């Protein structure tokens, strides 16, 4: 719920204690439940949050979308206050030991010592104790979200399987295939040619475009012949193919889904003896034959399932978290337009 100036005065008279007569309408940024957030709070807490992100909060005053930036910062502080209140309600408390453990993990990731890390923060204008407080609130927020969404972020098995099937086609069957190929290599354009004059450049581009089209027609011609005469595949390997596989009669080896780039996924849906639709990569045109198919346990399927489950869990968790936080803010957040500049000091 958002209420602007005209509607907020009666509410303020009810919510603010009698000692709050020194706080004027212009100095109030927002009300989060029963917690008043002032412009001074925005300056102090907001400045720290911006500095942690490597930004200077005063840039808001000069931004073209100043009101939007100010609203975003206000909502961030509102969200932090509401989460803190929810943590208290849920009896969640983050101790110094947890903060220290998180700090040490962060310091290790930066490859610094605690002393150099403190110095880095100091140079950025970030107070060490204030930073610890900020980190405590972030850890607390994670605990609150987990407690509120516990058991709701597990993706369905059907979604995990569908994701894995797309990521590693054929792997569900535990497929491994022995493949052979005819490779029609792409001809690399001479990028240095034709730059002496505009007309030469155009002619050079036309030449390479024409060559590309000719090569494509040639590759598809070889493909059509291979499909018509699959028994002559090895003959065509030595007649048309390039690359080291020629020395092995075109045999690439025994491969499983995930061993090759995604362009080759279609191959793992085919049966023994099939010629795959032509595959185009930066290396050229690949004409692939399935020489053998073996089914059994496939580690790639387990890997794909685990990766998809984690990806979907994170995605669903993020969606539910955003939804929960949005509802929390909307139910408790009364917004007031802030008229003062962030860079100004409180009188």
Element (DSSP H or E) covering residue 35: strand 35-38
Strand 251-255 and strand 35-38: the pairing is unpaired
Mention every residue, 6+ apart, whose C-beta is less than 8 A from residue 142: none
Strand 28-32 and strand 251-255: the pairing is unpaired
- Across the range 43-70, mean pLDDT stands at 81
Q: From CA 134, how far away is CA 44, in angstroms rounded?
A: 12
* CA distances, 234 to each of 226, 287, 337 (Å): 10, 12, 76
> Across the beta sheet with 251-255, what order do the strands follow?
251-255, 175-185, 284-295, 279-281
Mention every residue, 6+ apart, whose C-beta is less than 8 A from residue 266: 169, 276, 277, 279
Q: Phi/psi zone of residue 47: left (φ > 0), alpha (ψ -120 to 50 degrees), beta?
A: alpha
Q: Which of 56-65, 113-122, 198-207, 317-326 has the highest mean pLDDT?
A: 113-122
Question: What is the band of 139 on the pLDDT scale with cuts at 50, 70, 90?
Answer: confident
- The distance from CA 247 to its chain's CA centroid, rounded to whole angstroms, is 43
pTM (predicted TM-score):
0.47
Burial (CB count within 10 angstroms: exposed 0-12, middle 13-18, buried 19+), residue 274? middle
25 vs 281 pLDDT, higher one: 281
32 vs 334 pLDDT, higher one: 32
Residue 25: per-residue pLDDT: 45
Domains, the chain, in order of start with CATH, read: 5-153+317-335 (1.10.4030.10), 175-295 (3.10.50.40)
> Across the beta sheet with 333-335, what order do the strands follow?
35-38, 28-32, 333-335
Question: What is the band of 184 on the pLDDT scale with cuts at 50, 70, 90?
Answer: confident
- Across the range 188-196, mean pLDDT stands at 49
Residue 16: per-residue pLDDT: 36
- Across the range 244-272, mean pLDDT stands at 87
**Among 3-12, 109-118, 213-222, 224-233, whose mean pLDDT is lowest?**
3-12
Mention every residue, 6+ apart, whose C-beta is less than 8 A from residue 76: 46, 49
DSSP H helices, the chain, are: 5-15, 39-52, 66-89, 96-110, 114-123, 128-149, 157-167, 198-228, 233-240, 299-332
Beta bridge partners of 177: 255, 293
* CA distances, 174 to each of 163, 268, 273 (Å): 16, 10, 18
């Amino acid at each position: 719920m958002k209420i602007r100036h005209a509607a907020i005065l009666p509410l303020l008279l009810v919510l603010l204690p009698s000692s709050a007569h020194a706080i004027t309408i212009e100095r109030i940024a927002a009300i989060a439940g029963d917690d008043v957030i002032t412009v001074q709070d925005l300056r102090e807490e907001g400045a720290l949050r911006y500095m942690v992100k490597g930004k200077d909060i005063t840039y808001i005053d000069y931004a073209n979308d100043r009101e939007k930036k100010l609203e975003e910062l206000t909502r961030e502080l509102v969200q932090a206050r509401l989460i803190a209140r929810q943590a208290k309600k849920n009896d969640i408390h983050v101790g110094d030991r947890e903060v220290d453990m998180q700090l040490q993990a962060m310091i290790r990731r930066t490859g610094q010592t605690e002393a150099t890390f403190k110095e880095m923060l100091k140079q950025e204008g970030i107070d060490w104790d204030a930073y610890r407080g900020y980190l405590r609130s972030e850890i607390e927020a994670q605990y609150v979200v987990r407690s509120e969404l516990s058991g709701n972020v597990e993706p369905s098995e059907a979604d995990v399987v569908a994701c894995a099937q797309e990521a590693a086609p054929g792997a569900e069957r535990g497929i491994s295939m022995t493949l052979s190929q005819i490779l029609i290599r792409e001809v690399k354009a001479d990028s240095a040619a034709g730059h002496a004059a505009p007309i030469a450049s155009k002619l050079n581009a036309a030449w390479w475009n024409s060559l590309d089209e000719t090569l494509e027609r040639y590759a598809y011609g070889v493909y059509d012949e291979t499909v018509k005469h699959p028994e002559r595949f090895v003959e065509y390997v030595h007649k048309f193919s390039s690359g080291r596989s020629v020395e092995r009669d075109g045999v690439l080896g025994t491969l499983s889904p995930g061993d090759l780039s995604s362009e080759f996924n279609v191959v793992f849906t085919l049966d023994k003896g099939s010629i795959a639709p032509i595959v185009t990569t930066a290396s050229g045109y690949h004409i692939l034959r399935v020489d053998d198919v073996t089914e059994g346990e496939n580690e790639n399927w387990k890997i794909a399932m685990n990766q998809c489950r984690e990806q979907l869990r994170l995605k669903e968790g993020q969606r539910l978290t955003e939804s929960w936080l949005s509802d929390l803010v909307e139910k408790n957040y009364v917004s007031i337009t802030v008229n003062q500049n962030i860079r100004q000091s409180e009188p």
